[in-house]
Every structure is written in structure tokens, then in C-alpha cells.
Amino acid sequence: MTIRDHLLSGGEGLQHKTSPNHGREFGAGLPDTIILHYTAGSSAESSVEHFMSPSAGASAHLVVGRNGGITQLVPFNVTAWHAGRSEYQGRVGFNQYSIGIEMDNAGPLEKTGGGYTAWFGRVYPESEAVKAVHRNEVQPAYWHCYPEKQISAVLDICILLVDHYGIKTILGHEEISPGRKRDPGPAFPLDKLRDRVLNRDRSLDTEPEPEYTRRSGVVTASSLNVRFAPNVAAPTVLPRLSQGTVLDVLREAQGWYEVAVAVRGWVKKDYVQV
């Protein structure tokens, strides 16, 4: 897959449509950011149809289906209307800086007797539901999962955009509009994807990972956060562990233990006795 005249070309399952909902061309040196979204809709087709309607007042450059299929609605040199009220690190109004990628995903789900229900009424099986804590929240909730084909397609697109336009930043809508937006949500591996895309040339990638310690441990603090990565700024991945919780210590890095309880994450080693 390549980019020609600001349009994707050559991808399997690639379609082009023209949304009437867009602004003017980007300014010099832009776009320099990618914003990732979920559609919170029932299908990629319904989301594309929505973005094609003049009354919607919204659009994105791309819609990526659950099977990895891609529909481009706005050329990459033209602003789309996907970010809305948004601010991050001093910048306001991210439509003027960013390429918007919408992923077909129902978003938050509610556990019901028959499965897991989206806001629009569709019931999903347990295999498509993920229980996780949102980076901007403290309580776990259920979320619609992202298939590997979809994640892989988005990864490939981001790499292509970074290489073609010199993109410097990849963000979720939840990061530029916290409190107002929750997408792409914790079911999407946002931190892993942007690290892989933006830090592909790191020398650290050639260094061996720390060996697994394979020990048992007990939480000594009154409560302990479990984080996605070994640093205090990383998002939590499940509710706090209480004192006395027994866990499996998998490995050590940078003053942290990677542990496994219900899910895998990182905790400060100072608060675990092994």
C-alpha cells in the first residue's frame, strides 16, 4: 500500500468515497499528528454512510473495518472534521493538525443476561468483550474488542503516514478531549502501537529483554496500582491490588516487577515481598 496524491493506493479491500464534510487544506508542515477513534457504531458501512451525509457535520480521513478493510473519505492534505473541541499540550482544535482514523468498534458495552450490549442495542458474545480500566477513569468497564486484522491494518496505515508525512505524534481522542470522549478506549493497544510506530529505530529494540524471574510475591502496601508499563505515568490496567494479594512475579525492569494476577501489568517493586 502506498500514498499517491494524498490518497491510499494498492491496498486490498481499499475503497474511496468523497465526504462533503471537510475543511480547507492543511497549513505548511501539517498534518503532524494522527488521532485514533472508535466509531461507536454498528458497522463500518453505517459509519461511512454517516460521514457521507452533509447533515452529519463530521468526517474522518479513514474508516477501518473489523476485517481490516479501509475506506478513505477525505484526502490526507485536507482537514476532516473528527476531533471537535480538543486540546493537548498547548494546542487547541486538532482538526487543523491531524489525520483522523475511525475504527469500526461499538465502544463501551453493558453486561446483560444475554451477553454484552452496546448503546444501540446489539448484543455481543463474551469473546468480543474486554474488561479493562480506561486511562481517564478508575473503575473497570466492558469494552468491545478490536480484532487483530483491524489492529494490524491501523498499524500499517500509521507507519505509512509517518513515513510519508513525517507524523510526530499519535494520540487517542480520549487524550485530546478527556472527559468528553473515551475512544479508542482500553481495548485498543494505543500505547504499544504508537511506541512501535514512532520508536522503530531505537537501539533498545536490539537489546535482550530481562529474563523472567518466575517467583511468587505478596503486596505489602495498603493498595497498589498495576500499570501498563514500568513508569508512574503509564495507565492502570485493573483496579488497585489490596495488601496481602498474592501474585506471580514474571520479571524485573527499571525498579518495577511485571506481574500476573487477572491480567499482566507493572507494579513498583518496593511494595511487593518476594
Q: Which domains, ranges and CATH numbers included, belong to the chain?
A: 7-106+145-198 (3.40.80.10), 208-273 (2.30.30.40)
Reply yes or no on whether 102 is catalytic. Answer: yes
> What local confidence, expressed as pLDDT, does residue 268 receive?
81
- List pLDDT tens digits, range 150-194: 999 999 999 999 999 999 999 999 999 999 999 999 999 999 999
pLDDT above 90 coverage of the chain, percent:
70
Most confident of 68-72, 209-213, 252-256: 68-72
* pLDDT at residue 95 tops 90: yes
Alpha helices in the chain (DSSP H): 44-52, 148-165, 173-176, 190-198
Alpha-carbon distance of 177 to 42, in angstroms, equals 23
How far is CA 105 from its chain centroid?
Answer: 11
> What local confidence, expressed as pLDDT, does residue 28 receive?
97
> What local confidence, expressed as pLDDT, does residue 205 receive?
46
Given the residues 25, 102, 137, 209, the one annotated as active site: 102
Among candidates 15, 23, 93, 21, which has minimal Cα distance to 59?
21
* pLDDT at residue 203 tops 50: no
> What local confidence, expressed as pLDDT, does residue 252 receive?
81
* pLDDT at residue 43 tops 50: yes
263 confidence band (pLDDT: 50, 70, 90):
low
> What local confidence, expressed as pLDDT, does residue 12 receive?
85
3-state secondary structure of 31: coil
> What local confidence, expressed as pLDDT, does residue 36 receive?
99
Look at phi and psi of residue 179 and say left if phi exceeds 0, alpha if psi is from -120 to 50, else beta. left
Q: Which three cell numbers stand for residue 74?
A: 477525505
Burial of 43-79, coded b for 16+ CB within 10 Å and e otherwise, reads: ebeebbebbbeeeeebbbbbbbbbebbbbbbbbbebb
- List pLDDT tens digits, range 5-26: 999 999 889 999 999 999 999 9
